[in-house]
Amino acid sequence: MESNLLELLELVDSRQDELVDLLSLLIRYKTPAPPARNTEEVQQFIADFLNKKGFMIDKWDVYPGDPNVVGVLKGKRSDEYQSLIVNGHVDVAEVSETEEWEVDPFTPIVKDGVVIGRGAADMKGGMAGALFAIQLMHEAGIDLPGDLIFQSVIGEEVGEAGTLECCKRGYKADFALVVDTSNLQIQGQGGVITGWITVKSKQTHHDATRKNMIHAGGQLFGASAIEKMMKVIQGLQDLERHWSVMKSYPGYDPGTNTINPAVIEGGRHAAFIADECRLWITVHFYPNETHEQVAKEIEEHIQLVAKADPWLRENPPTFEWGGSSMIVDRGEIFPSLEVDPEHQAVKTLSGCHESTLYEQPVIGVSPTVTDGGWFGDAGIPAAIYGPGELKHAHSINEQVSIQQLVDYTKVVLRFMFEWCHTKK
C-alpha cells in the first residue's frame, strides 16, 4: 500500500503541468459573488469530472444558476473504515472595474512560479489540488475502503452557505476537510454574525418641533432616532472594549473579537425628525463561542443602555440577527470551529503533512472565516487546510505558488488515502 502511495506522490511532481492546467481551467469559469448566480457551468464540469471517477452525483440548485454538487464514492467496507468529506467553494470574490490587473482576472497567467487569476488563492487552488488527487487515485485503480464525499458548494463569499445546505441534505462523515486558504496550516476559526439594530419612534414629528424636544420647558416627549442610535453605538463600543479585556483565545491577538458598526440608515427627509434608524453591525467572535451566545450578550447590554435613557426606555431598540445571504436578505452567519489536535483525523493529517513535506505542521486558527464552522455546528469534526496565502485572497493579481499547490496536492492525496484506510 505504501509503495502505491509513493508512486502517486511522485506523479504529482512529474505531472504538475496538468495540475496547473486544471487550476487554470477552473479560474476561467467566471464565478464572482456578487453578482453570483453564475456557477452552473463550473459545477457541471466538476460533476462530470467526479462522475467519470466513479462518484455518484447529487446536483441541486441552492439558488437559480448556483447549484451545489456532491459526489459520493462509496467505500468497499464503509461500515468498518473512516469516511471523509472534502469541501470547497467555487464562487470567488467580486472584481471591481477599477482594479488594475495585469490582464483579465479570469484569464490565468502562469509565470515566476505562480498562477495569477481571481480565485487562485481563494480557493480554486484548493479545489484543483483535491480533484487532481482524486484523478490520480482513480487512474491507479485504488479502491478506498472508507467513503469519500466531495462537496463543491456555492455562496461562501456572500454568506449563502452552500455547505449548510449539504448538512441539511444529510451528508455526514467521520471528518471534514475544508480546502480553503490556509497557507498549508491546519486551522480552526472564529465566527461572524451580522445583525441589524433598529431604533424607531412611535410618533412622527415635523422638523420645526425640534426646539420643543431639546429645550427647557418644551414639553414634547420625542427624539431623533439617529441621535439615539449614537447612544447605542457608544454602548457597543463599551461592550467591545470589555470583551477585549475579558476574553481571549490562543492564537488570536487580544481584541480580535470586534463589533463593527458597518452601515447606518435612517430618517425620511429634511422636513422630518428622524423617526427610524437602522444600524448594520458585523460581530467577530472566538472559536469557543457561538453566534447565539454573542448575540444574546449584545442584546442584553444594549437593553441596559436603553433602560438608562428616558426615551429609549419607552422606544427600546429591536434586533434582527444573521441571514442566509448578503445579496438577498443582507445578513450572514459563519459559525466558529474549534480544532482538536488530539482527534485521530487531525493527527493523521498532521502526520501526512510531516511525512510529505518534512516539516512540523502548524495547528492554529484562521484570521478569517470559512464554511468550516458549519461542520462544527453540525457535529462533524473538521479542519481547514489548503494552499494560498490570505494576503493574496481577494487581492489584485490574486495568485498561488505552484510549489505550494504541488505540496498541498501531495498532502491531501496522502490524507484521503490514509484516512479512508483507517478503521473506525
Residues designated catalytic: 91, 156
Question: How many Å apart are CA 65 and CA 264, to the nearest integer?
Answer: 31
Burial class (CB in 10 A: 0-12, 13-18, 19+), 313: exposed
Helix (H) or strand (E) holding 307: helix 291-307
Please give the Cα distance from 322 to 263 (Å, whole number). Answer: 15
Q: Is 226 exposed, middle or buried (0-12, 13-18, 19+ CB in 10 A)?
A: middle
DSSP per position, 211-226 = HHHHSTT-------HH
Cα 122 to the center of its chain, rounded Å: 10
Pseudo-torsion of CA 109, 110, 112, 115, nearest 10°?
80
Query: Which CA distances in Å does 147 have to 86, 127, 268, 345, 385?
Result: 11, 19, 58, 14, 20
CB-side exposure of 280: number of CA atoms within 13 Å?
12
Report the candidate in 129, 173, 124 with the shortest Cα–Cα distance to residue 153.
124
Q: Where are the beta strands (DSSP E) in 98-227?
A: 109-111, 114-116, 148-153, 175-178, 186-189, 191-200
Instruction: State how far Cα 10 lies from the chain centre.
Output: 32
C-alpha cell at 103: 490582464
C-alpha cell at 299: 442584546
CA distance linking residue 297 with residue 303, whole number of Å: 10
Angle among Cα 189, 193, 196 to the nearest 5 degrees reads 165
| C-alpha 7, offset from chain centre | 34
User: What is the radius of gyration, based on Cα positions, of the chain?
Assistant: 25
* DSSP label of 367: S
Q: Which helix (H) or strand (E) holds 67?
A: strand 66-73
Question: Cα angle vertex 303, ends 302, 307, to 5°?
Answer: 115
* DSSP conformation class of 423: B
